[in-house]
Amino acid sequence: MLIHVVQRGEALWTISQRYGVSIEAIITANKLKDANRLAIGQELVVPSLYRYHTVRAGETLWAIARQYGVSLESIIQANHISNPSVLYSGTVLLIPPRTHTVQRGETLSQIAARYGTTVQDIARANQIADPNRIVAGMALMIPHPKPTIEVNAFTIDGGEKGAQQVREVGRYLTYASPFAYTMRADGGLNPPNDAAIIEAARSENVVPMMAITNFTYTDPGSRLAQTIFSNLQLQNRLLDHIVRTMHEKGYRGVNIDFENVYPSDRERYNQFLQNAVERLHREGYFVSTSLAPKVSGEQQGILYEAHDYPAHGRIVDFVVLMTYEWGYRLGPPQAISPVHQIRRVLDYAVSVIPRNKIFMGFQIYARDWVLPHVQGQEAETFSPQEAVERAIRYGAVIQYDYTAQSPFYRYVDSQGRTREVWFENARSAQAKFELVKEYQLRGISYWVLGYPFPENWALLEDNFHIRKR
């Protein structure tokens, strides 16, 4: 999969001709509503077996070619490299696909095993309708091997609306998590409208994961958490309700998202998790937690101090790092999940939590702020797809912040107000996927379904195999 940044005066036809890909394929991959209208700076995913590689310090072209199983000459040719001995860190290279000539008696299964890929990926890459019918001498393009990860997505829409969101992207998910059951001071639970979502998850071979939390939009939940943590009887009653709910509804695990916990309750929270894991593991369920994005063990603030990274890494089965919301809806305009900030969180996280227990959070929505920003004034939240359509509508030029690895633009609305939009696009999604590979993480957790972002799902499938449990 390639990423094309639209330049002034370009049309979809010229882009399709440049890459030798049909207009229809580009429209489908990006789910374009109007193929005749593009924004300057808009990014399109272009179906291709070529891959990107970002050069790291000390790498050589020979080592890169060996890593991908292609010839040195093919990389030199694809990138028009005049001096192969000079390679700069940060350079993005195009990596061509491998090729294989079918030998007499070979099967697609044997070829896939040889190259560490799948029959389905080879068949898709070469438009083979029947994988059992290949002939000697056929030249096949072999997709590059992909790491296998797990993918979770939360949904805040209940009932059939949330169920439809899960069905739309179910092929890309390991887990789906309706948000959320809110706990009560008596140890009970207030349920979301989750029955249809659970059924949709099962139909897509997706594991339904129960989510419980202590906060609502009107209550930060600090005192509620303290009430539960301070009383073993209430904890056991809460765990009884969780187990009963999972058994009755078909959940296979739980995500515990307790936020705004008083720093003084840190150890009590850890002990609650230990009790929860011991109880739920006996019942055959897994336990995960959601953690605020910390960059050190000494980070202060009610969002952070009670979230004990080493303890969570030791106690629970996996954690979800909430690596987003730097661009907060009530704060000043900025990238919502900037890569340079995520990297700081991951640097700390992998030092105290096993990498195979870490999900990196990824928000899939856009924000639009009025300028000049007034503290507390709420930004509008909508989808990345709407962000691009808004840029087209107002004639805005989309720019890219290379530090945050995030797109943004400004425009003047119908009331004459200047506004600033930060969102996600193909390049920013790819940058986050590269972090998952670099840090060898367990997976990605999306917050939240309901915001169309077709480029993300196309790139996710291009970068990873998704584990189904």
Catalytic site positions: 259
Cα–Cα separations (whole angstroms), residue 220 to 214, 261, 312, 330, 448 = 8, 9, 21, 16, 20
Tokens of 144: 């590059």
**89/56 Cα distance (integer angstroms):** 5
Backbone phi and psi for residue 71, each to the nearest 5 degrees, phi listed first? -80, 150
Contact 414, 366 (CB under 8 A): no
Phi-psi region of 41 (alpha: psi -120 to 50; beta: other; left: phi over 0): left
CA–centroid distance for 116 within its chain: 24
Please choose, from the candidates 343, 319, 338, the residue with its C-alpha nearest in 3D space to the C-alpha of residue 328. Answer: 338
**179/156 Cα distance (integer angstroms):** 5
**437/351 Cα distance (integer angstroms):** 16
Contact 287, 241 (CB under 8 A): no
Cα–Cα separations (whole angstroms), residue 435 to 2, 146, 281, 343, 427 = 18, 14, 31, 8, 13
Contact 204, 171 (CB under 8 A): yes
